[in-house]
Amino acid sequence: MQEHANRELVDLLMEESDPVVRSRAHAELAQRALSSDNLPKAVVHYQEALELDPTDEISRDQLERLTRQKPGGMFSRWNPFRR
């Protein structure tokens, strides 16, 4: 069931041109990634949401919470753009 719902959001991202709607879809995918304990994927979706809608305070707060530097924490050295 969740896979189908995720697919619908991905389809929306592919078809929708409104950046606010796309931002909300990314934020929802981030929430779903969090509920599946996929923190790196959640971070990437929150970043995408903020790129599309910089006024999205909820995504900004969630991203800051997830990427807060903690000694030895999961994201202390993680950079999603590093290859």
**45 in Cβ contact with 33 (< 8 Å):** yes
- Does the residue 72 lie in any domain? no
- Does the residue 76 lie in any domain? no
Look at residue 83 in the predicted model and tell me its pLDDT: 43
Look at residue 15 in the predicted model and tell me its pLDDT: 81
- Does the residue 74 lie in any domain? no
What is the count of structural domains for the chain?
Answer: 1
Can you state the angle between helices 19-35 and 2-15, rounded to 10 degrees? Answer: 160
CA gap 31, 25 in Å, rounded: 10
The count of C-alpha atoms lying within 13 angstroms of the C-alpha of 66, restricted to the half-sphere facing its C-beta, is 24
**pLDDT tens for the chain, residues 1 to 83:** 567 667 777 777 778 788 999 999 999 999 999 998 889 999 999 999 999 999 999 999 999 998 884 444 555 455 555 54
Q: What is the pTM of this model?
A: 0.72
- Does the residue 81 lie in any domain? no
- Does the residue 18 lie in any domain? yes
